Amino acid sequence: MRKNLALAACLFAVFAMLALSGCGSKEEVMADPTEDLGTTEDVGAISGDDLPLADVSDDTIYIEPASSVFADIYFEFDQYNILPQDEAVLQRIANWLRENDQVRVMIEGHCDERGTNEYNMALGEQRALAARRYLVGLGVGAARLGTVSYGEEQPLDPRSSEDAWSKNRRAHFVVSE
């Protein structure tokens, strides 16, 4: 059952990516539906005549910079389940990681100040692990994804307000080669 879910997530990932890139340079992918959909690198061999993007050479695909892909994702108070609004972020991260297969990512789990210091250390790890599980479900190799909990040790916003707390309950992605 879990395996099926992972496979479904994987397929969904690929379709979502294809859909997103539908109007850009990767149109050719759709021209060959027999392509193995599991690897995106295959879209590289495309003829370059009518490419609209001047800075993309014939045999490369456009890669978003890591900084715009690896956005933080957020969590409810005392919870570590992935929220629907963050699924697209994780999707983009998974896509990017499949295209940059030398990159490793450390996922940091953070909490707001309201739990106990001690339990927040466990909760932060669960947040990082939840993001990791989701990315693995989208086909990213588990060995490339590390986790670390910072508990409530490194708030983005040190104030004690709903606004600050909601920013601090996050998973943050640190990319390393």
Partner 1 sequence: MLGQKRRCASRAMLAVPLMLLMAVTAGAQVHLNVSKAFGQKVIVAVPLFELEGGTIVDAAAARDVIEFDLGHSGYFSIVENREFVDETEIDDRISGRIAFQEWSALGAEILVKGKIGGDLSEVYVEATIYDLAQGKAIFGRRYVGSREQWRDAVHNISDDIVFKLTGETGIAKTKIAFVSAVTGSKEVYVMDYDGENRRRVTRQDAIAISPDWFPGAEELAYTLIRESRQECRRASISGSGERLTAFPGLNAFVSPSPRGDEMLMSLSKDGNPEIYRLRADGSDPRRLTFGRSTESSPCWSPDGRRVAFVSDRAGVPQIYVMGASGGTPRRVTLQGNYNTSPDWSPKGELIVYTSRISGTFQICTVDVETGETIRLTSGAGQKEDPSWARDGRHVVYSVKQGGKTDLYMIDIYELEPVRLTSGAGDYLSPAWSD
In degrees and rounded to multiples of 5, residue 127 shows phi and psi of -65, -45
For partner 1, which residue of 39, 57, 60, 117 counts as binding (CB under 8 A)?
Answer: 117
Examine residue 150 and tell whether it contacts partner 1 (CB under 8 A): yes
Residues touching partner 1: how many (CB under 8 A)? 24
Sorted by sequence, the CB contacts under 8 Å of residue 110 that are 6+ apart come out as: 124, 127, 150, 151, 152, 154, 155, 156, 168, 169, 170, 171, 172
Residue 25 lies near partner 1 (rule: CB under 8 A):
no
Residue entry with tokens 């927040």: 120
DSSP at 39: -
User: In the set 87, 126, 144, 164, which binds partner 1 (CB under 8 A)?
Assistant: 126
* Residue 56 lies near partner 1 (rule: CB under 8 A): no
Both tokens assigned to 167: 């920013």
Q: Counting contacts by CB under 8 A, is residue 108 touching partner 1?
A: yes
147 binds partner 1 (CB under 8 A): yes
By CB under 8 A, name the binding residues for partner 1: 78, 106, 108, 115-119, 121-123, 125-126, 128-129, 146-151, 153-154, 174
